Amino acid sequence: MRRRLRRIIQSLSALLLNGYWYFPISRTIYQGQLKSICSPGLNCHSCPAATTACPLGAIQNFMAGIRVSMEAARYHFGFYVLGWLGIIGGLVGRMPCGWICPFGLIQDLLFKIPGRKIRIPDIFSYGPYIFLALTIFILPIWVVDAFGYGFLWFCKFICPAGTLEAGLPLLILQPTLYGMVGHLFYIKVAVLFFFFTWSVLASRPFCRTVCPLGAFYSFFNRVSLFQLKYHPEKCTHCELCYRDCPVDIKFYESPNDRRCIRCLVCLRESCAFGAISWEMGGTEGQSSRPKTSLVNSQ
């Protein structure tokens, strides 16, 4: 049941963030007021069922249009979206990655397919910061067309969530778009299948090597209101937390590590010795439940 709770919340989030089920009849995307709110997870707003805006898409739009908006004295710098993400990060850090993000759920489900599993080298964990800096901020501001608008580099050239949730469904809904499909779209489909395949072999490869949204939230893991607490006096270094961790963190070496997606598997399922607990704004929460039989056997 404890494992199922996260899966239920992930599924409900995915359904709520993609709750416009009228799209097969309307044959277009949702256009209501909810789209002025950004989703806490990666969810393309061009998805026909999407009910909220994608935060990465929104930030890139601000950065891409920054020169034009300044010339027009509008001064849109994306503070609304950055502030919104910062509030979420300040409250819970990267928890949306583990509990809300629909693309995270897809990767989790793919990793459940039995077979040989591989670990992702730590060096790749710097990838998301490079993608965040380059594709979300620097390139959209720097490389502009004749009218002064930049491109949405991450959405256009990389985002597999956009291909899965928007590109492919829109082609099905509007077959006339087939005529516009070029090499770039095939490359994006290849990127999607690459990450799908990698997700079967390794846990959460996209989150750990590319996702700029996770990179942004990761800055808050050590300062957020929600914190995981380590109790070294109870820890036996059995490494069960490391074995179960979807992002391969040794909790006892680095609690609240920037890579931690706050899925709480270590707290709720792995640790049998009560060595992990959580706190929210100074209020202590439940610790990992000591399993009596295991503790006695030590």
Residues binding other proteins (CB under 8 A)? 28-33, 35-36, 38, 44-46, 52-54, 57-58, 61-62, 74-87, 89-91, 152, 155-157, 159, 162-163, 166-167, 170-171, 177, 180-182, 184-185, 187-188, 220, 223-225, 281-282
**Least distance (Å) from other proteins to the CB of residue 267?**
19
**Least distance (Å) from other proteins to the CB of residue 48?**
9
Structure tokens at 191: 């990127």
Provide φ and ψ at 72, rounded to 5°: -90, 10
Provide φ and ψ at 269, rounded to 5°: -125, -40
Q: What count of other Cβ atoms lies within 10 Å of the Cβ of residue 21?
A: 11
**Least distance (Å) from other proteins to the CB of residue 112?**
28
Structure tokens at 46: 């061009």
**Least distance (Å) from other proteins to the CB of residue 233?**
22
Nearer to other proteins, 153 or 252 (CB): 153
Nearer to other proteins, 89 or 212 (CB): 89
- Nearest one of 295, 142, 165, 282 to 225, comparing CA atoms: 282
Q: Could you tell me the CA-to-CA distances from 157 to 59, 127, 146, 153 in Å, in that order?
A: 16, 16, 20, 6
Nearer to other proteins, 246 or 255 (CB): 255
Nearer to other proteins, 105 or 192 (CB): 192
Nearer to other proteins, 157 or 242 (CB): 157
**Least distance (Å) from other proteins to the CB of residue 127?**
20
**Least distance (Å) from other proteins to the CB of residue 11?**
23
Q: What count of other Cβ atoms lies within 10 Å of the Cβ of residue 41?
A: 28
Nearer to other proteins, 146 or 180 (CB): 180
Nearer to other proteins, 23 or 251 (CB): 23
Rg (CA), the chain: 21
**Least distance (Å) from other proteins to the CB of residue 130?**
21
**Least distance (Å) from other proteins to the CB of residue 34?**
9
Nearer to other proteins, 67 or 289 (CB): 67
